[in-house]
Copies of this chain bind each other. A is one copy, B any other.
Amino acid sequence: MQGSDVATEELKLRNQICFPLYAASRLVIREYKPYLDKLGITYPQYLALMVLWETDGVTVSFITDKLILNTNTVTPVLKRLEQMGLVERTPSPDDERSVIVMLTRKGRELERKAAEIPLALAGRLTEGPFSHEELSALKSSLDRFVAYLKCRGSGG
């Protein structure tokens, strides 16, 4: 009977990890919202811009790989960023199938305005009851979690 209880507990534990992940993800994005609103962008748009701020002039598939998202999600995001005048999309001369995404001057300027965001978010977390060690361990586990689950999508 006791062995069964332990198994049940482990089952509960692993089952319940999924909902906290789902809830935490939405809640943290909600923390970003007031700062992103000031820039007039959404969180996925911010993610795409962060990729470009680190490496400008990359293909769509480079961005989908970094964000672990499909083309059918990233393409509309990039089109909206283009409509806002933050990026430009041009076919690659090397491979006409590929599309090169480049920041405009306006897109590069937004990086400076966005610099306050990680500062502000870090402040919000240090206000809370989280030690540096706990956040470090959390990030480390999440990174391994993502690395493990990532490859199970398109063949691994």
For A7, the closest partner residue in chain B by CB is: B122
Q: Is A39 an interface residue (CB 8 A)?
A: no
Which of B25, B68, B125, B146 has a CB less than 8 Å from the CB of A14?
A: B125
- Is the pair A20, B132 in contact by a Cβ cutoff of 8 Å? no
In the complex with contacts A13-B136, A148-B128, A47-B19 CB distance below 8 A: yes
Main secondary structure of the interface of A (DSSP, over half): helix
With a CB–CB cut-off of 8 A, which chain B residues contact A26?
25, 68
Given A17-B125, A23-B67, A23-B150, 19 further pairs, Cβ under 8 A:
A12-B118, A13-B136, A13-B139, A14-B125, A14-B126, A17-B142, A18-B32, A20-B139, A21-B21, A22-B28, A22-B43, A24-B145, A24-B149, A27-B149, A28-B145, A31-B152, A130-B148, A134-B141, A138-B145
